[in-house]
Amino acid sequence: MPGSRPIPLPCRLEEQTKRLQKDMKKSTDADLAMSKSAVKISLDLLSNPLCEQDQDFLNMVTALDTAMKRMDAFNQEKVNQIQKTVIEPLKKFGSVFPSLNMAVKRREQALQDYRRLQAKVEKYEEKEKTGPVLAKLHQAREELRPVRDDFEAKNKQLLDEMPRFYNSRLDYFQPSFESLIRAQVVYYSEMHKIFGDLTQQLDQPGCPDEQRERENEARLSELRALSIVADD
């Protein structure tokens, strides 16, 4: 049967593209949520009456708030960058697929027609070569020709162009990937700087974790030893 070789459809690519688009959206949404919740921490602290009573505390919280707000701003910028260089291109790339699918379908239809008419021709060819049969055969062949040409044209086109399309993804997405990495790296290094500065600025710079933990425990036991604290 003609055209029996199936075209390797890169349907995985379409699925990949769609999934990637969704995941990137989810990721950027999660990033934004995270920085929003971080800002909330410092906002709540600022609005606390403790700030009026305790100057040191107020200073600390103000510094924290500044840092959080900057984190939010940078995060927003990062998301915008990702939106522009990754998500939008993904969408555009994905918009090619319907056309591709349609072309494949049409080739399929052409194939069906082709096969049908071919079968007809063969049927007549097998019959006795009588006058009417010959006439019919001739007509069938005439019918067949344009259809076959059509199919073959479509087939060739797809065979030629689909791999090219498929390969184009490499060139297309490489810049996106690099941009994503760069955006993340820039963001994280900025954040590192911001929080490093903040750590320096706050009290007790360079206090190791175990020491903090021990001190907390000591304070907590001190509190528990007080008689006014419920000893459940």
Pick out residues in 150-169 that bind other proteins (CB under 8 A): 157-158, 161-162, 164-165, 168-169
Is 16 a binder of other proteins (CB under 8 A)? Answer: yes
CB 158 within 8 A of CB 107: yes
Structure tokens at 88: 């939008």
* Interface pick for other proteins out of 67, 121, 151, 155 (rule CB under 8 A): 67
- Cα 14 from Cα 102, distance rounded (Å): 13
- Residue 173: CB atoms within 10 Å: 17
Question: Could you tell me the smallest distance in angstroms from the CB atom of residue 99 to other proteins?
Answer: 4
CA 228 to chain centre: 56
Site for other proteins in 210-229 (CB under 8 A): 212-213, 215-217, 219-220, 222-224, 226-229
Is 11 a binder of other proteins (CB under 8 A)? Answer: no
The residue (of 109 and 130) whose beta carbon lies closer to other proteins is 109
Give the per-residue contact string, 46-65, with other proteins (x = CB under 8 A; - = no). --xxx--xx--x--x---x-
Structure tokens at 184: 């993340």
The residue (of 152 and 172) whose beta carbon lies closer to other proteins is 172
Question: Residue 31 class from Cβ within 10 Å (0-12 exposed, 13-18 middle, 19+ buried)?
Answer: middle
Question: Could you tell me the smallest distance in angstroms from the CB atom of residue 136 to other proteins?
Answer: 6
Question: Could you tell me the smallest distance in angstroms from the CB atom of residue 220 to other proteins?
Answer: 6
In 3D space, the residue among 146, 157, 121, 148 whose CA is nearest the CA of residue 2 turns out to be: 148
